[in-house]
Amino acid sequence: MSEYNVKHLEMIQAIIERMGNNSFIIKGWSFTSIGALFAFWFSNTSMWYILLLNFCVTILFWFHDAYYLSLERQFRRLYDEVRLSDIETDFRMTPKQEEGDFLIALFRPILKYTYGLIVIATLILLIVFR
């Protein structure tokens, strides 16, 4: 493997790490925001619209987290392409998008169970207390 290919792999790896870090930050912000909204709602359960806001915020963070996960997966594929290639690299940093990348990321078990359970719990509370 040439020195250029190694440098290209290092650049791609840095992007993969950044996507993983962004996803981690999104999870932190989402749990903080969702927890604060639940705490605010528990202090006054007659304010049902807080649950509706919590539902929307959860969906927003779920999509945002899935976006970073889908990008990370695309860059992992690009990393494998460069790693397995025998030709000199062109330093291409645009990963190939495959159809359904975002939907696959959206319903990965970690996201589906984390955000999905919050959405279901919020909907149940919204139905019961509305």
Q: What is the dihedral of CA 62, 67, 68, 73, to 10 degrees?
A: 120
Instruction: For residue 98, give the 3-state DSSP assignment.
Output: coil
- Using one digit for the tens of pLDDT, what is the confidence trace for 69-108? 999 999 999 999 999 888 888 888 888 888 899 999 999 9
Would you place residue 56 in the very low, low, confident or very high pLDDT band (cuts 50, 70, 90)? Answer: very high
Would you place residue 125 in the very low, low, confident or very high pLDDT band (cuts 50, 70, 90)? Answer: very high
- Whether residue 1 has pLDDT greater than 80: no
Token pair belonging to 102: 């975002």
Token pair belonging to 77: 């594929």
pTM above 0.85, yes or no: yes
